[in-house]
Structure 1
Amino acid sequence: MLACSTLLAGCSQLQTAHESATQPSVPTAAKEASPDATPSGDAPVKVRILAFNDLHGNLEPPHLAVFAPDPNREHSSVVVPAGGIAYMADAISRLKQENPNHAVVSAGDMIGASPLLSALFLDEATIDAVNAIGIDFNAVGNHEFDKGSNELLRMQHGGCERFTPRLPCSLDGHFAGANFGFLAANTQRKNGGTLFPAIGIKTFGDGARSVKVGFIGLTLKGTAKLVAPGGVQGIRFADEAATANTLVPQLKAQGADAIVVLIHQGGTTAGSYNGCSGLAGDIVPILDRLDPAIDVVVSGHTHHAYICDYRPPQANRSLLLTSAGRYGMLLTDIELAIDPHAHKVVGKAARNVIVQNEGFTDDKGRSVAPNAAYPRFAQNAAVAAVVERYAQASAPLAQRTVGRLTASLSRQPVASGESPLGNLIADAQLAATQAPQNGGAQLALMNPGGVRADIEVPPEGGNVNFAQLFKAQPFGNNLIVRRLTGKQLRTVLEQQFRSGSNTTARPRVLFPSQGFSYAYDLKQPPGKRIRDMKLNGKPVQDNAYYRVTMNSYLANGGDNFSVFKRGEPVAGGMPDIDALEGYLQIRSPVSPPATDRIQRLDR
């Protein structure tokens, strides 16, 4: 009997990608052993769940590697090139062949903050590629809301209605939407309903040996602080654990023998991608409050990979916690052994499989070759064809030279919180809006979360193409100039230390443009931390007005910088990527700016 996938109600045959019967089996290394027999003496039903998270539209190999244990040398590691959705599709296909009872799921951020190849087409490219793989459910993450809830609904249902500055359906003139289900149990509308279905159920086998696995999809409750507020207007993100717990009776009533939570929230660990050393982070208190009937939690968001047999405090049970890291470099292989008579899980196991590709040469000319110690995957032909089609369409724009750098631009912060790339983006935004007709801006501030990748060139310097710019700044925001008082500007900077989920331990420091400087002291109480604000060498006055450039994400109060919303609008409209491109074109060759605009006094 074919597996049947349902979203709350109704049932449809699962669409699968082409699976090659000639591929060798991938060896299994389980976290825990699954029993060969149930308490009744009957064999359990084995169900395989394949999971990934935080793909972020990385369709092509990301030119990154996994540090994996060296099987030939104790306490040593080897470098394994990994990623690329066509290679991940092959890994999924091979593992599906080993067990007809399978489901494929994602724990969010499948789209958003994507490289040019996908972002240029509003992530329609990623949805088309994942459609070709054949998956069941995706729990909506915060980045799925980058372009607003209406655009996200278009990703699910298809169509060409325009909700963004970029034109949808630009390749074909049509877009069918996802053939898998989006789940978002705690993403609630004002009327009490959810933006997407809360749960999904998949049935395996038939008759007395049929089993059902229920899936709950959750978005992190802090999403509203991580996306532009206008895009989630009228939506609230409820508590994750409380929402999941209320859905357990509903799934049990529908016959679920196992319950899997797909949640876009996660933790950090200090060990191997298949380990759980030092588990910490926002996922832990959620786990501690979950109903004991929940068997597996597939997590994401932090980009850390782990496999954990987690036992909540004062609990007489454990649950399996997994994450596949990021960008399709790993694939989580989960096995559940389900007693069809007792209607419960009697064994569970998991491991992260490296999606090893054909290797790559990095921007510095260094070769990273495949490693024979780990399985190597080929490109799934159907998925590769989707990627290639979009790659050819984007190539003329992606490969266009936009300027030259004397050295690479890093986004990594120095002690003050600045970074060379962040400061340069702020400089570019100021330059684009300084003219009176463009707003007459006096300074610019850039959020660190909007800078997604370094811009690398050879040590002697080199040309930069548009794809590199887009990878560093992929969100497609527009520049806005607003008039703020000096006091409001000071308050904005104070908000750096309580922005989003950050605290004084990890402040979200805004990148300042050239000519604007200040100091901060985290030993001082809230509201008293910002010192010595200056603009072009002159003290910033509380009662004076200043024209400040920001992107539309910040202008809407993104990252919880709510004071920006109170500023008086002056001008706006230019895409942020155009400002960066224009800056490089006019000033090339450009050198990395100094990171001396902010002084940290408490160190």
Structure 2
Amino acid sequence: MPASSQSDRRRRGRRTRRLLALAAGAATVGALTAAALPASAGAGHKPGGHGTSRYQDVQLLSFNDLHGNLEPPAGSSGRVTELQADGTTKTVDAGGVEYLATHLRQAREGEKYSITAAGGDLVGASPLLSGLFHDEPAIEALNRLELDVTSVGNHEFDEGARELARLQNGGCHPADGCYTDEEFEGADFPYLAANVLDEKTGRPVLKPYWVWKKKDVKIGFIGVTLEGTPDIVSAEGVKGLTFKDEVETIDKYAKVLQKQGVKSIVALVHEGGFPASASYNYDCDSPGAGDGISGPIVDIAKNVTPQVDALVTGHTHNAYVCTIPDPAGKPRTVTSAASFGRLYTDTTLTYDRWTGDIARTAVKSANHVVTRDVPRAADMTELIGRWNTLAAPIGNRPIGYISGDIGNSGTESPLGDLIADAQLAHGRKLDPETDLALMNPGGIRAPLTYAAKAGEGDGVVTYAEGFTVQPFANTVNLQDLTGAQLIQVLKEQVSGPNQAAPKILQVSSGLTYTLDLTKTGADRVVTDSIRLNGAAIDPAATYRVASNSFLAGGGDGFPTLGQGTDDLVGADDLTALEEYLTANSSPTNPIAPPKADRITIVS
């Protein structure tokens, strides 16, 4: 049989299985209490309705920010904090698609009306197992998870709109070709990109909305990513694209859906908030919680049309289930399931057949941990094993040795210091006059863990682990900045676009300063405290600065970094990290975690 016929047959077979699964039903709400129907429910039969119940519970399972994490994430990236009944907290190991698949399948058992949706960043910034293959493994896993629909996130544009279209529609990678004997078939689910427009046509680059239907129940989904995506993605990744306001876009397509008779609407929004507690099960609506959530999603939720019944969100990698009033003052559910497949959200939407709308007074929702004490899904184990076989020759190569966990959390992290030092060392190979290096915290995707993995010993850092830490393939760039510009860069960490959610740059050895959190805005950086190798920064002097290409282009809200001169481009950042680890560690002399004492915090 020709390869194209085999591909069509497989695709039809998968879609047939999905339709059969949908018809058979799935998912139980588990620990959720049964949704209380509105007082007007009564016996629930519409005149002439042939005995059909007025209200129908629809299960909405959701997650976000998977970032291609197919295997259980390591270190703190693979744990969640759980609030206990006595007010204490404990950490729980979580994540891994083998377990996520089992949890979702168990949740669907017995549910005749079940939808699975996601809030973006399902791919991009992925570990080597998926990232090495341009996230084809992640898309294959998501197909097997029976994902119905997702919004795009900013990381869906890491490799540009054409590559995103390939992930949606299938086909071999234009440069690397096919990785197996079978052509990549693409996503079985639609990516929604309502507010991402082609500059030339003014039209969305992918579908703006999608409608889920079963019998007489219809629920519409609108998908958007944050308007500020161009500020946090490389210029090449968003070339030719325009990103529109989230609220205006959602409102626009809510009207379109309403005109089509779809009155139950869920917005999938790749933008998020910051809950008052780090515990996934914190009740941000509890008495005394006050403003249980802050951040950009609050303004979005307060302004999106009341026609939208719930918001599934993401981006900030936080966990929350909150109600935020809509413009009419009516409570509306807003959820996020942290990141990396550690949680999923189970929401009950009660559909009113008489009105075609969601009875919001009956909406119930909760986050659930993807624990690792359930059986692994055999099909996911097979998928991971198959792709690992292809990745192993590259991924298992040792590149360094550490004496303990090197974490990536905190205002200044040990791993941030290590990476900055690696980029400084690489910069000095290019130009011995390089003075310092700066690293953005968002570019550090995972910790380095000491514990052994299969095929390695304790303390061994493999190429796969390094790839998981720095998966973006940014280059290390050198540029000249004046001392005044360098001071301004440090102030931009806590001012301008970064004032509400500071982005503290990780700094190389020799650069020190004080961050005074009792102050506001740019004043939080104490100018007189900034020192390079013990000497005060001279505003009129010129300094040679190393940073990754994303930062050097002014990304992450650092416009002054985009004003440097005398640019010089080096190797990619992972190569710089590998060079540093190889040169500075051995099995008998591993690198110790840096002290993270370059930034003095006053609070």
TM range, smaller chain = 0.7 to 0.9
> Which residue of structure 1 lines up, in the alignment, with residue 389 of structure 2?
392
Shift of 1:68: 4.8
Shift of 1:490: 2.7
1:452-463 aligned at under 5 Å gives the runs 452-457=445-450, 462-463=459-460
Q: Secondary structure at the match of 2:358?
A: strand
CA distance in 1, matches of 2:198, 2:350: 37
CA distance in 2, matches of 1:24, 1:304: 24
> Which residue of structure 1 lines up, in the alignment, with residue 238 of structure 2?
232
> Which residue of structure 2 lines up, in the alignment, with residue 178 of structure 1?
187
Shift of 1:26: 6.5
Shift of 1:196: 1.7
User: Which stretch shows the higher mean deviation, 269-278 or 521-530?
Assistant: 521-530
Shift of 1:446: 0.9
CA distance in 1, matches of 2:443, 2:118: 23
Query: Aligned match of 2:427 in 424, 433, 443?
Result: 433
Q: Deviations over 1:99-138 (max 9, x none)?
A: 3333211011111222222122221210111122222211
Shift of 1:599: 4.5
1:524-603 aligned at under 5 Å gives the runs 526=522, 529-531=526-528, 533-588=530-585, 589-599=590-600
Query: Aligned match of 2:124 in 112, 122, 135?
Result: 112
RMSD: 3.4
Q: Deviations over 1:537-571 (max 9, x none)?
A: 45544444332211111122210212222223442
- CA distance change for structure 1 residues 510 and 40 in 2, over 3 Å: closer, same or farther? same
Q: Which has the higher helix share?
A: 2
1:69-218 aligned at under 5 Å gives the runs 80-162=92-174, 167=176, 169-170=178-179, 174-190=183-199, 191-205=201-215, 210-218=216-224
- CA distance change for structure 1 residues 597 and 65 in 2, over 3 Å: closer, same or farther? closer
Query: Aligned match of 2:270 in 251, 264, 267?
Result: 264
- CA distance change for structure 1 residues 338 and 581 in 2, over 3 Å: closer, same or farther? same
1:436-455 aligned at under 5 Å gives the runs 436=430, 441-455=434-448
User: Which stretch shows the higher mean deviation, 73-82 or 565-574?
Assistant: 73-82
Letter in 2 for 1:148: G
CA distance in 2, matches of 1:420, 1:76: 27
CA distance in 2, matches of 1:491, 1:422: 21
Letter in 1 for 2:153: G
- CA distance change for structure 1 residues 321 and 428 in 2, over 3 Å: closer, same or farther? same
Q: Does 1:380 align with 2:373?
A: no
What 5-or-longer segments of structure 2 have no aligned partner? 1-13, 286-291
Contact kept, 8 Å, 1:57 with 1:118, in 2: the verdict is yes
> Which residue of structure 2 lines up, in the alignment, with residue 422 of structure 1?
416
Contact kept, 8 Å, 2:29 with 2:346, in 1: the verdict is no
TM-score by length of 2: 0.83
- CA distance change for structure 1 residues 17 and 422 in 2, over 3 Å: closer, same or farther? farther
Shift of 1:258: 0.8
Contact kept, 8 Å, 1:217 with 1:261, in 2: the verdict is yes
Letter in 1 for 2:137: A
CA distance in 2, matches of 1:325, 1:145: 20
Contact kept, 8 Å, 2:413 with 2:596, in 1: the verdict is yes
Query: Aligned match of 1:33 in 36, 50, 57?
Result: 36
What 5-or-longer segments of structure 1 have no aligned partner? 1-11, 359-369, 371-375
Contact kept, 8 Å, 1:439 with 1:572, in 2: the verdict is no
> Which residue of structure 2 lines up, in the alignment, with residue 5 of structure 1?
none
CA distance in 1, matches of 2:251, 2:513: 47
Letter in 2 for 1:122: H
Contact kept, 8 Å, 1:309 with 1:321, in 2: the verdict is yes
> Which residue of structure 2 lines up, in the alignment, with residue 3 of structure 1?
none
CA distance in 1, matches of 2:325, 2:536: 55
Letter in 1 for 2:146: G
CA distance in 2, matches of 1:265, 1:135: 20
- CA distance change for structure 1 residues 98 and 579 in 2, over 3 Å: closer, same or farther? same
Shift of 1:49: 2.0
CA distance in 2, matches of 1:393, 1:17: 32
Q: Does 1:494 align with 2:502?
A: no
Aligned length, in residue pairs: 558
